[in-house]
Amino acid sequence: MRTLLRMLALLVCASFAFAEFNGLPDYVQTKLSALQKYPRASSILLWARESHALDADGSQIYEWHSFRWIPDEAARDNYGDPHVAYVEGRQTLDILTARTYTRDGRRIDSTPHNAFNAIVPEGLDKALDYADFRQMVITLLGLENGCVSELHYRLTTAKPLWPWIEGRVYFREEYPVISRELVVTVPPGAVLNYRCDRGAPDPAISNGTYTWKMTEQPGYLAEDLQDHRLLLPNVVFSSAADWPQVTNELRSRLETALAGDISVPSSLRDGLLKATSDEARLDTIKTWVRDRFNRLEFEHPDFGLTLRPMPQVLESGYGNSLELAALVSKLAGTTGVNAQVAAWFLPDAPVPSLHAFHGALLSVKLDGLRFYCDPLEPRAEFTQAQLLGTTILDLDPDAVQPEEFRCRARSPYVNLTIALDDLTADTLRGHGTFSSSGEWGIYEKMRPTDPAKYVAEIVHVAGLTIDEATVKTLEPARISANAVVEFTFHASALDTADGRRILPLTLLDFKAYAGGAPLNLTEREFAQWIPLPGEITLHVEAPLPAGWRMERQPASASPTWDWSQGVTRCEIRESRLIFERTLKLAREWIAPSGWKGFRAWMLDADTRPVNVVVFTAN
């Protein structure tokens, strides 16, 4: 009886799922049969068409048309009131269709009279210079579980910010996609630069129209993707001729915004009088701007690249990343500090465009050194390691195209060596050496702080106190920083249990250097990005007390995964305990096939019962 009821329930659900919705286009109706493959999906994009068109007069037209399956309350919350961003006075928004199709045959239309509300985005309501950036909130009426929503709108831009069309489209999303199209049209004689990546197909090209189509794609676990959208099928495109055109346009806008004189406020002048070096003056300016200005962000392709004249930015008390970087650059110039604005792309910029613009950096020249830094964070709070995986377009006249920020050290490393004096003592004592090179951000983090305090943050020993720490090497090179610190310490005695002594070996946090991988995932669909190839080593030595023997130790192993490996060794040699754990990262990406091995090794390096040495005394 129970089995029969389940079968009847499935038949009822199926009849609802595949009902002939009144007025639903045939090319969408045929997609409904795919719903049975994804019974747990909280939303399914049945069909979507996204188009970008550049007219000969420079105007641009963007159009979005989609049909989405709404199975539950979560989908209603996520997709029930889409927000469409636009710039009032420069863009015209036409909402062509906002409709709900219900299973009982009703069609409910949203109209300007009952469901469209233009708002000033949160955060911009007190920024008068940005008041033309708006969002149209489209409330889809009549939503219920098991309905289909349709959204169709057009954005016409008469005065584009840039004289080319650009964009990046990801064909797959967190929930299943049954059919998706991208269409880009350029005027006669124009050529579209594009790149298809991660399985996106090549386009069909006809008379200046480029069309990409992808069929059914499953959803994915957001935690697995870990915000690395570049791993999804995508197409990036631009009608800009080349990088010099893009660079010249951006440089020209910056020169206009930076033109003329600027008055340095008295509160900043007072702070600059206390600065004793160019670097201190730059940090003073950054801190002054950071503490007094609101850094605003808004998801619209024009917002982050908006540039007002610097006196206007100074008087307003707010700005986007590019404007505030330009303001710091302008103020730094009044003190003789050379800090130029550079464009920062994340993750990359594969075709000439500014679509991947992530924000602005400063390209600084001090004491014969040249380096990139955050426009608002002092050097102690921003490190070169944060630039890994990004691309930078320097606006110097010699700049040709963006360059990936890479470590110039041949083999970046972090090495912690600890020697314990007496494992039987009530207070453990010992000495150690911490050394590093490459883009680990060591120079920036160590330079402004006490070395003992810095080492205490790195070494994980119960009851640790650093008695003395001496910096032996701290090269001031911003690109390939080298640091060596020697230290002495004391700490709590070894833990005891059932007459045994326990030495934990979680003395160095490998995860801090190897990236925050979600180790709760036993399998992965996507590759895992590790911030930087290199080598991380923990080496521990201690004399073995008379009568002690090693009852349990971490398993000695050298697992290899996707051209990288982890090595663990533990042995007694000439009456000394010698332990070493090394993580070698030969690549920045670990393939899904290598994830299990890497995950197991990282877990064994974490705080776990297997990551200890247990001693017994005769």
pLDDT per position as a tens digit, 367-392: 777 888 999 998 778 877 788 778 99
CATH domain 2-238 topology: Immunoglobulin-like (2.60.40)
* pLDDT tens digit sequence for 33-49: 999 999 999 999 999 99
Residue with tokens 């068409």: 49
Question: Band of the pLDDT at 437, cuts 50, 70, 90?
Answer: confident
Under 8 Å between Cβ of 132 and 64: no
pLDDT at 503 over 80: yes
**Confidence label for 160 from pLDDT (cuts 50, 70 and 90):** very high
Q: Is the pLDDT of residue 20 over 90?
A: no
> Which one has a higher pLDDT value, 559 or 476?
559
Domain(s) of CATH 3.10.620.30: residues in the chain: 243-404
Q: What are the start-end ranges of the H helices in 19-147?
A: 26-29, 73-79
Mean pLDDT of 535-561: 92
Q: If residue 273 lies in a helix (H) or strand (E), which one and from where to where?
A: helix 266-274
Cβ atoms within 10 Å of 491's Cβ, excluding its own: 17
Q: What's the rounded mean pLDDT across residues 294-322?
A: 95
- Is residue 317 scored above 70 in pLDDT? yes
Burial of 481 (C-beta count, 10 Å sphere; 0-12/13-18/19+): buried
The answer to whether 428 touches 494, Cβ cutoff 8 Å, is: yes
List where CATH 2.60.120.1130 sits in the chain.
413-617
- Euclidean distance between CA atoms 336 and 332, whole angstroms: 7
Q: Evaluate the omega torsion of the peptide bond into residue 347 and state whether it is cis, within 30 degrees of 0.
A: yes
**272: Cα within 13 Å, side-chain hemisphere:** 20
By C-alpha distance, which of 115, 123, 127 is closest to 81? 115
Q: How confident is the model at residue 447, as a pLDDT?
A: 73
- The set of residues, in sequence order, having a beta carbon less than 8 Å from that of 24 and lying 6+ positions away, is 67, 101, 148
Residue 186: closest CA among 121, 239, 264, 254: 239
Q: Do the Cβ atoms of 352 and 245 come closer than 8 Å?
A: yes
User: Which structure tokens are listed for 133?
Assistant: 């950036």
DSSP code of residue 351: S
Name the DSSP class of 480: S
| Nearest CA among 482, 582, 588 for reference residue 533 | 588
* Neighbouring C-beta atoms of residue 35, cutoff 10 Å: 21
Return d(Cα 293, Cα 290) in angstroms, integer.
6
Element (H, E) at 446: helix 442-446
Average pLDDT over residues 428-452: 82
Q: Which CATH number fits domain 413-617: 3.40.50.300, 3.30.1330.60, 1.10.150.20, 2.60.120.1130?
A: 2.60.120.1130
Domain(s) labelled CATH 2.60.40.3140 in the chain stretch across: 2-238
Residue 584's beta-bridge partner residues?
Answer: 535, 565
Q: What does pLDDT average to over the chain?
A: 90
Angle at 506 between CA 504 and CA 507, to 5 degrees: 100
Q: Angle between the 278-292 and 266-274 helix axes, to the nearest 10 degrees?
A: 150
Is there a contact between 359 and 419 (Cβ–Cβ < 8 Å)? no
282 phi-psi bin (left φ>0, alpha ψ -120 to 50, beta other): alpha
CA distances from 336 to 91, 279, 332, 340, 559 (A): 41, 11, 7, 12, 54
| pLDDT confidence band for 1 (50 / 70 / 90) | very low
- Give 555's pLDDT tier (boundaries 50, 70, 90): confident
The pLDDT score that the predictor gives to residue 531 is: 74
204 band by pLDDT with thresholds 50, 70 and 90: very high
Q: 64 has which bridge partners?
A: 50, 153
Q: Is the pLDDT of residue 445 over 90?
A: no
Instruction: Give the helix ranges, DSSP H, for 275-427.
Output: 278-292, 310-316, 321-334
Question: What does DSSP say about strands 234-238 and 193-197: parallel, antiparallel, or unpaired?
Answer: antiparallel
> Which candidate, 49, 52, 80, 53, places its Cα nearest to that of 65?
49
Angle at Cα 411 formed by Cα 589 and Cα 371, nearest 5°?
90
Angle, in degrees to the nearest 10, between helices 278-292 and 321-334: 140
Q: Which two tokens stand for residue 401?
A: 């195209």
C-alpha span between 19 and 511 (Å, rounded): 51
Contacts for 253-260: CB closer than 8 Å, 24+ residues apart: 253/305, 253/307, 254/307, 254/326, 254/341, 254/395, 256/307, 256/309, 257/307, 257/308, 257/309, 257/310, 257/323, 257/326, 258/310, 258/326, 258/329, 258/330, 259/309, 260/309, 260/310, 260/311
Residue 4 has pLDDT above 70, yes or no: no
Topology (CATH) of 243-404? C8orf32 fold (3.10.620)
Write down the pLDDT at residue 536.
Answer: 93
